[in-house]
Every structure is written in C-alpha cells, then in structure tokens.
Structure 1
C-alpha cells in the first residue's frame, strides 16, 4: 500500500464524490465520445461535449463515470464514454473533475470551461482562471478546494 506523505489523491475524474443528495439523470452519448467529468450539453436529446464558441447557458451537467460497469461500453478506468453509450449526467451535486493547468483553484472559486483552444488547452478543459472570450463561467459551479498533483479536484454544481 502506498504511503501518502503530502495529500491523498482528490479522486477519479467523473466520480460523484458525495453520493448522498446527488441528482443524476440517465442519458445517451451523442455522436462524439465524451470524457468522464467533462461538462456536457444536450443536442437532439443526447449529451455531447461543450463545443467551441458555446455560451455558459448550454452547460447541462457533467458526465458521470459509471461504477460498477457492465459490458464493455465503459471499461473500468476508461477515460471516455463512447458514442451511443448509456450514461449518467450530474445535474446537481459534488464531483471529482480533472482541472487543467490554468489557475489554482481554492474553495468557492468559480469554475470555467474553455470554449476556444489555445495555450496548450483544448475546448472543454476545465480551468480556474477566466481568459476573456476563451472561457465561460459555468453557472452555479464552484471548486471545493485545491487540485491534487494530477490536477484532480472536487466541484459543487447546481447546489
């Protein structure tokens, strides 16, 4: 068993970190695979990743990592849900997400999502710092603390 000398890992991206009180909604992934823990929007009744140029109002929730898994549509440890897969979307609650290197989150800081690529970041990356028209603030979504060494941290969405 590893010894944690500094801090335990914050969690696994897409995992609902506080199960009690979380509101999940069943959905189907659209034509584009989606990373677990990524903000998603609805297009023709299916969930797809937030895209380039999207506004904050399109964020529908965050894609939940399935556990336990059944079948091979979402293998344990896999990073994305494939097109057409059944999935759950966090509509309200707490989740571990993978934050990219833009900014250092602190408790109750605003969560931003990239809507334009640049500076080593891609559309859909979650960041802690606003970057003009390149990011949008996710409504009712805040960080719950600092990120671990891998960039994982907890968010509160729609609470």
Structure 2
C-alpha cells in the first residue's frame, strides 16, 4: 500500500517559525489578549509590553510566535489561544507561517496588515493579500513566500 499526498501538503500552523535558523526572536511580556498566534503587534510605549495593534496603528514591532507545546482543555486541536499575560516570543525577523485572512496570497506578493475595522475573521494585526483602503497597511519589509494552502496558511518573510 502506498501513502501519498495527492495535491499539496499543508503549509504549516499559523504562528510557527518556519525557518528557525534564519530568524531573530525576542522574549517580551505580553500585556493584552491576542486573537491568535501569527499576528503583528506593537510595543506599548508606557509599559514596554508587547500588545495587539489598535485601530489606526501603523507601526508594527513583530509577530507573536506560537509556543510549543500549547494546549488547553478549552480549545480543540490546532485552535490554541495565546496567553493574555506572561512571557511570549516575538519574531522580529525571519520566516513564519501565518493565516492569510483575505485575498489570494501569491509568491512574492505584498503583505497587508489589518489596522482598522476588525472582525473575528479579520483581526487587528492579521495578514491579508489585498488592500482594504484605510483598514490595512502594506509592509514593505514583508512578502509571501508561496501561494496559500486550502486553509489560507502561507509562509511570509519579514524584515529579511
């Protein structure tokens, strides 16, 4: 019996650093609840904590790294919720699997970050492949490394 992947392997898990040897990761205290792993955040100027982007933010600091292992009895497999406090890793430079929340991610395509009008499907700090007026900003220092898989997961490079 032959086991085969007929179409394409999954791209990865959002928030997972995909090329660890090419990444710069810092530990920061998280000061608020992120909607998911693999979202952009900023440093709070008052406390120095890493926090989610707020409406109309334009400066991003890095991406929230998915801790391993992360699991709780309240979440189904693969749906881990980031902690709202404590120390977490933040990727400042490197490659990460993220969830593309809008548009079709294509190799070498522009990466847009949601900074306004958030929904559950399009959280603040989330990654998109299409501009949405004043709701998104383009990150000149980021690009998609390949097309997204069927679930919208795709690898991006950031600050490389």
1:34-89 C-alpha deviation (Å, 9 max, x unpaired): 5210011111211111121111xx210101111245x97xx984533222121100
2-side partners of 1:80 and 1:63: how far apart? 12
* Other-structure match for 2:103: 103
Q: Which runs of 5+ in 2 are unaligned?
A: none
1:33/1:81 contact within 8 Å kept = yes
Aligned residues: 153
Cα deviations across residues 107-140 of structure 1 (Å, max 9, x unaligned)? 1111101112268634332100112211001240
1:26 aligns with 2:27: yes
Q: Which residue in 2 is equivalent to 1:117? A: 117
Match of 1:53? 56
Extract unaligned runs of 5+ from structure 1. Answer: none
For 1:146, the equivalent position in structure 2 comes to: 147
CA contact (8 A) 1:34 1:82 kept: no
CA distance in 1, matches of 2:27, 2:159: 17
- Residue by residue over 1:18-39, the C-alpha shift from the partner in whole angstroms, topping out at 9 and shown as x without a partner, is 1112100001110333521001
Within 5 Å, give how 1:63-78 maps onto structure 2. 63-68=64-69, 77-78=78-79
Q: Say if 1:59 and 1:138, in contact at 8 Å, map to a contact too.
A: no
Q: Deviations over 1:130-153 (max 9, x none)?
A: 122110012401110111111100
**Judging changes above 3 Å, is the alpha-carbon distance between structure 1 residues 143 and 89 closer, same or farther for their aligned structure 2 residues?**
same
- Contact (CA 8 Å) 2:16, 2:66: kept in 1 or not? yes
TM-score by length of 2: 0.85
